[in-house]
Amino acid sequence: MDMIRLFHVLRALPVLLAVVLCHSSRGASHPNVLFVAIDDFNDWGPSQLEGEPFDVETPNFDSLAAKGILFNNAHCNAPSCNPSRTSIMSGLHPASTGVYANGHDWLVNKRFDDILLLPEYFKKHGYATLGSGKIYHANQGTDFDRKGLFSPRGWDDFFPSFNFQLPVPSMPDVKPKRGEGNFDWGGTGKPLEEMGDHKVVNWAIEQLEASRDEPLFLAVGIYRPHMPWFVPDKFYDQYEDVEIKPPTNPKGWEKNIPESLLPPQRFKEFTGKPGPSRGYAACISYADFELGRLMKGLEASPIADNTIVVIWTDHGWHLGEKEHFSKFTLWEESTRVPLLILKPGAKQKEVDTAVSLVDVYPTLLALAGLPENKNNDGQNLLPIIEAETDLNRAIVTSKSENYHAVRDGRYRYLKSNNAEALFDHFNDPREFNNIANNPGGAAIIERLSKALPTAPIPSMPKRVKPNAR
């Protein structure tokens, strides 16, 4: 009988081992992920990126950057919310999908039928997947706007709901007075608790505190500093006595640049005026405050020691640089983004190699110990993080199938049909001097052109907003 029992035990061992391994893969062996998006957050915020023309206070981001992996040369894949967020959530470049603009409804794009979005991939591998706030493209306003181009695919739960990405209201009701539409700024005169971002972070902290058997993938989308730049008075008043130096532009800066490559110069009349800079800076400080609350919630949670944190933004923002106040360009101000990764036990490091937001998806999988998704266009950044020296890598940002920017460790190359421009960041960090026709320019362009999409998918049709909803 003893031999028979032993036989049965041995025969069952492979099954028992498989059960144990499966449980392990779904549990403590895989780290949790806190995936934090901050909307329209340019390089003015992090002091390490040295992008601000005056002192913008971001103590929480600065503290995190001092102990995490900070990418000093990170860029979005498209200079607007929808295509950029579509790229990071799908791991696909706009040239692979045809999603280049805010109006391109990727939800009806058949290309995505067989694509596992980021929360889907984590859910497939045993994660609880929760989200809150602006993760996909959305805006305040109507119900249609607040939901935006949201996909329920892969989420176990979402706050405020699967019908709205932004809380209702997403911010106190303050009427614009200074500029066109939402181009306005100031203190709200309203309590902090009425801010949509405050509600989003409150909910996220509750999820961090909850007990669960599965590892957690939690996405948190902070809407500020998206305009209008209204914040609780304490953040706006923070810059009342600060000497604000708006960006300036040298006279005739545009003369050697092809007209088709120039920014549209939206709200040009505000160039040199301190108001927009103050409003935007106040919103950055407010977003940093909410980021700090979220991180304190993580530190107090039972998963603090086993959580990867990724902090990213969808694109940059011009604050008068090149006489433009917006995004929607392929210049440094619009493409460069803060990107920060914190991994338990990892050493602090700053990476100067050019990286792209489309790299976040495969990097997160590697950090979490999950299998590679071979459909990803991006590159796992772990070898770059672990490299002894920075690599001369070139990455691409696209505005359409015919308009791209290539950025490496030194140069920016702009290409639109037959127009092109080249800028040397070592000697011209603000990109005013086009050296495309200078000696040696052709050789640099030839090298950078190899990174351009060879057969980009044409732009898909734009989304039609309902007349009344």
- Specify the DSSP class assigned to residue 136: S
CA atoms within 13 A on the CB side of 182: 13
Judge whether 34 and 310 are in contact, CB under 8 Å: yes
Question: Residue 187: what are its φ and ψ, rounded to 5°?
Answer: -80, 145
Judge whether 119 and 154 are in contact, CB under 8 Å: yes
Side chain identity, residue 87:
S
List, in sequence order, every beta strand (DSSP E) within 190-236.
216-222, 229-231
Give the burial class of 456: count Cβ atoms within 10 A of its Cβ; 0-12 exposed, 13-18 middle, 19 or more buried.
buried
Distance between CA 87 and CA 117 in Å, rounded? 10
| 318 annotated active-site | no
Distance between CA 436 and CA 58 in Å, rounded? 37
SS3 content of the chain, % helix, strand, coil (to 5): 35, 15, 50
| 22 annotated active-site | no
Owner of token pair 């933004």: 313
Q: Which residues pair with 423 in a beta bridge?
A: 412
* DSSP characters over 168-201: SSSS------SSSTT--EEE--S-GGGSHHHHHH
Catalytic option among 30, 75, 76, 81? 81
Single out the residue of 260, 133, 157 nearest to residue 207, CA to CA: 157
Judge whether 188 and 158 are in contact, CB under 8 Å: no
Single out the residue of 264, 290, 183 nearest to residue 226, CA to CA: 183
Per-residue exposure over 85-101, b if at least 16 CB sit within 10 Å of its own CB, e if not: bbbbbbbbbbbbbbbbb
Distance between CA 128 and CA 124 in Å, rounded? 10
Catalytic option among 104, 137, 198, 318? 137
Q: Is the peptide bond before 458 cis (omega within 30 degrees of 0)?
A: no
Q: Which residues are catalytic?
A: 81, 137
